[in-house]
């Protein structure tokens, strides 16, 4: 009798799943860590490197997220990207982990992470993420890491990873047999349905970075990825500020498809210390500022154990985390400025990763805005020019926020200075002075009386 009821419960859960992911997750974007830009897929940094003993490194990272207070702020996902899977058992076809990197195996790794409270006495546990790929091989094959993909093993692999304790699953697209919009959706749907059939609450993170995610293409009836997962990558890997500038441009095109349950994903939060690439501390802070505003997943992908106090201060900005996690879940739109370029004005790009310098007039600034819960609003300003600039949200810009006519004044709070800096009266207009070379400022606007 008991067994009969359980079967019915599972079937009941499956029925609506053909077209959606009703796992109840993703009311706000995910926050935590990803190993990708920290460790890469290999033991990339020699026997003395920080990822050589990957299992121990991930344990140290988890402890750091807890002791630093990041987990208390909401950074609770510890996600292991490519590099844990060695191959398949010849006889059973089951996934076999890389015991050189994870001597205790992936189930033990997950158990270890998930036994930890996010902070003393919280009663909430840390989360554990795993990674695979919908193709026949994983992405790192280009870097001599030749792990197999999950193609043809979708349900078995999902079951394996969920049994290992994963409550966050990233599925990449390398080596895929089909990159068309319809083909990609139907392949990803297999993972979604397999996840739903487990009956477990698992965050489903799609990593496609192909044109079928973005920009919106009317000919394919673009609707974002919420029918498949809780988050979906919209652009290529963001390692440097020029990459991240492109990620922001793509986000502008797809933002309106976001909301509680499903979020476009402009990629991981990178800093100066990454496996490949790098950017300045200020650009890392600008990325965090804009990703908080969008809102997008806040997954820190850096060697946090070698962080500067500036970096910890960046990601610990409670006021911006609150904007990211605002319960209204209203996506920010780009109100002023078109697709950004970088570098502009002959600026070297804070690291000089790309040679091209856009000639004047370079499209160097944006204003983004968004409605928040409680009748509040947020504004974000980006400056990619070579030097500081004054950027204005004028009357038209404020009109785009649809502020009720009953609001007579707005108190402006600088979310980096942690100070109220102005009270605006109608007609509303606000100018921010923003440093150059990849810098962002953010403000919260609260209705106020005169």
* Site residues (vs ligand GLA, CB under 6 A): 36, 41, 81-82, 139-140, 172, 207, 209, 237
Distance of closest approach, residue 174 Cβ to ligand GLA, in angstroms: 6
Distance CA 95, CA 157 (A): 7
Q: 154 or 172: whose CB is closer to ligand GLA?
A: 172
Distance of closest approach, residue 443 Cβ to ligand GLA, in angstroms: 31
Distance of closest approach, residue 150 Cβ to ligand GLA, in angstroms: 14
Distance of closest approach, residue 237 Cβ to ligand GLA, in angstroms: 5
Q: 57 or 413: whose CB is closer to ligand GLA?
A: 57
Q: Quick one: which of 235, 166, 233, 174 has its CA closest to 203? A: 166
Q: Which residue is nearest to ligand GLA (CB)?
A: 139
Distance of closest approach, residue 343 Cβ to ligand GLA, in angstroms: 24
32 contacts 301 by C-beta, under 8 angstroms? no
Q: 82 or 167: whose CB is closer to ligand GLA?
A: 82
Distance of closest approach, residue 384 Cβ to ligand GLA, in angstroms: 23
151 contacts 135 by C-beta, under 8 angstroms? yes
Q: Which two tokens stand for residue 229?
A: 């997962």
Distance of closest approach, residue 377 Cβ to ligand GLA, in angstroms: 32
Q: 263 or 398: whose CB is closer to ligand GLA?
A: 263
Q: 192 or 233: whose CB is closer to ligand GLA?
A: 233
133 contacts 149 by C-beta, under 8 angstroms? yes
Distance of closest approach, residue 239 Cβ to ligand GLA, in angstroms: 10
What lies within 8 Å, CB to CB, of 280 at 6+ separation is 241, 272, 350, 351, 437, 438
Distance of closest approach, residue 139 Cβ to ligand GLA, in angstroms: 3
Distance CA 339, CA 126 (A): 37
Distance CA 230, CA 264 (A): 8
**What is the per-residue DSSP string for 365-406?**
EEEEEEE-GGG-EEEEEEE-SSS-EEEEE-HHHHHTTT--TT
Q: 86 or 358: whose CB is closer to ligand GLA?
A: 86
Q: 128 or 381: whose CB is closer to ligand GLA?
A: 128
Q: 189 or 207: whose CB is closer to ligand GLA?
A: 207
273 contacts 251 by C-beta, under 8 angstroms? no
Distance CA 295, CA 29 (A): 7
Q: 202 or 207: whose CB is closer to ligand GLA?
A: 207
Phi-psi region of 340 (alpha: psi -120 to 50; beta: other; left: phi over 0): beta
What lies within 8 Å, CB to CB, of 302 at 6+ separation is 37, 38, 269, 270, 271, 272, 273, 274, 311
Output the CA angle 192-333-72, nearest 5 degrees. 60
Distance CA 28, CA 34 (A): 18
């Amino acid at each position: 009798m008991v067994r009969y009821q359980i079967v019915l419960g599972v079937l009941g859960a499956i029925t609506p799943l053909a077209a959606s992911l009703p796992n109840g997750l993703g009311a706000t974007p995910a926050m935590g860590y990803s190993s990708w830009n920290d460790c890469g897929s290999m033991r990339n940094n020699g026997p003395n490197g920080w990822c050589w003993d990957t299992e121990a490194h991930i344990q140290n990272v988890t402890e750091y997220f807890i002791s630093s207070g990041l987990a208390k702020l909401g950074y609770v996902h510890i996600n292991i990207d490519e590099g844990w899977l060695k191959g398949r058992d010849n006889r059973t076809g089951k996934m076999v982990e890389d015991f050189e990197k994870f001597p205790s195996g992936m189930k033990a790794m997950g158990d270890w992470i998930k036994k930890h409270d996010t902070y003393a006495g919280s009663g909430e546990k840390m989360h554990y993420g795993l990674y695979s790929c919908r193709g026949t091989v994983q992405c790192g094959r280009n870097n001599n890491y030749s792990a197999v993909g999950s193609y043809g093993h979708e349900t078995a692999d999902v079951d394996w990873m969920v049994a290992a304790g994963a409550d966050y699953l990233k599925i990449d697209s390398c080596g895929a047999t089909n990159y068309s919009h319809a083909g990609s959706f139907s392949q990803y749907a297999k993972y979604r349905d397999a996840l739903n059939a487990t009956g477990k609450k698992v965050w489903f993170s799609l990593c496609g970075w192909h044109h079928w995610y973005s920009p919106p293409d009317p000919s394919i009836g673009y609707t974002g990825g919420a029918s498949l997962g809780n988050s979906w990558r919209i652009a290529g890997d963001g390692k440097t500020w020029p990459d991240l500038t492109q990620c922001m441009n793509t986000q502008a095109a797809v933002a309106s498809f976001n909301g509680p349950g499903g979020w476009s994903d402009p990629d991981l939060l990178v800093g100066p210390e990454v496996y490949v690439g790098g950017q300045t501390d200020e650009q890392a802070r600008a990325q965090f500022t804009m990703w908080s505003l969008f809102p997008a997943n806040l997954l820190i992908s850096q060697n946090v154990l070698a962080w500067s106090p500036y970096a910890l201060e960046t990601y610990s900005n409670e006021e911006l985390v609150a904007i990211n996690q605002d319960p209204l879940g209203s996506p920010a739109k780009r109100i002023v400025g078109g697709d950004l370029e970088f570098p502009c004005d002959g600026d070297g790009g804070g690291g000089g990763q790309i040679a091209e310098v856009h000639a004047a007039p370079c499209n160097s600034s944006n204003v983004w805005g968004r409605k928040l819960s409680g009748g509040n609003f947020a504004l974000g300003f980006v400056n990619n020019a070579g030097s500081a600039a004054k950027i204005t949200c004028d009357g038209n810009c404020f009109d785009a926020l649809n502020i009720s006519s009953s609001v007579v004044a707005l108190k402006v709070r600088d979310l980096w200075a942690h100070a109220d800096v102005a009270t605006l009266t109608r007609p509303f207009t606000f100018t921010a002075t923003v440093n150059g070379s990849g810098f962002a400022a953010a403000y919260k606007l609260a209705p106020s009386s005169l």
